[in-house]
Amino acid sequence: MKAVIQRVSKASVTIENETVASISQGLLVLLGIVTDDTQEDILWLSKKIANLRIFEDEYGVMNTSLINIKGDAIVVSQFTLHAATKKGNRPSYIKAAKPDISIPLYEAFVSQLEADLERKVQTGKFGADMKVELLNDGPVTIIIDTKNKE
């Protein structure tokens, strides 16, 4: 499981000119899933994201988490995070899990993040053509891959 986490002042997801998700201060999480991802990956990644100390404290130091600031989150599925670009110029997405595997894992991840944050997490729509708009705060962007935990 791979996530691109962006600290945002605001973010939204629009599908066919309809806004389906919108937050102010918080995190936009782009989530890519591979076939061998498991519940262990979900638990580890959700806890890591909820507790990342990437928001500024009263001294202007990145020392507080999404939990601490009671911020919001949007999770968007993005299979292109697992693009293989080593050969040629056309990315291969062979590592990305097919929908029958990735949809249940994506939904489980969103549910786990809601539990860890103790608040509703907004989402895009799996497989839809989404327009994601964000104001990256910092900018702060962090990439986490559950296959590289150590």
Name the pLDDT band for 149 (thresholds 50, 70, 90): confident
Q: Which of 19, 35, 39, 80 is catalytic?
A: 80
- Residue 150 pLDDT > 80, yes or no? no
Cβ-based neighbours of 10, under 8 Å, separated by 6 or more: 22, 23, 24, 25, 134, 135
Identify whether 78 is a catalytic site residue. yes
Identify whether 79 is a catalytic site residue. yes
Identify whether 109 is a catalytic site residue. no
Fold of 2-148: D-tyrosyl-trna(Tyr) Deacylase; Chain: A; (3.50.80)
In this structure, are residues 6 and 140 in contact, taking their beta carbons and an 8 Å threshold? yes
Whole-model pTM: value is 0.95
* Segment 102-129, tens digit of pLDDT: 999 999 999 999 999 999 999 999 989 9
Largest CA distance in the chain: 48
Cβ-based neighbours of 138, under 8 Å, separated by 6 or more: 7
**Domain boundaries of the chain, sorted by first residue:** 2-148
Name the pLDDT band for 130 (thresholds 50, 70, 90): very high
Q: Which of 79, 112, 122, 146 is catalytic?
A: 79
* Segment 64-117, tens digit of pLDDT: 999 999 999 999 999 999 999 999 999 999 999 999 999 999 999 999 999 999
Q: Which of 78, 112, 122, 123 is catalytic?
A: 78
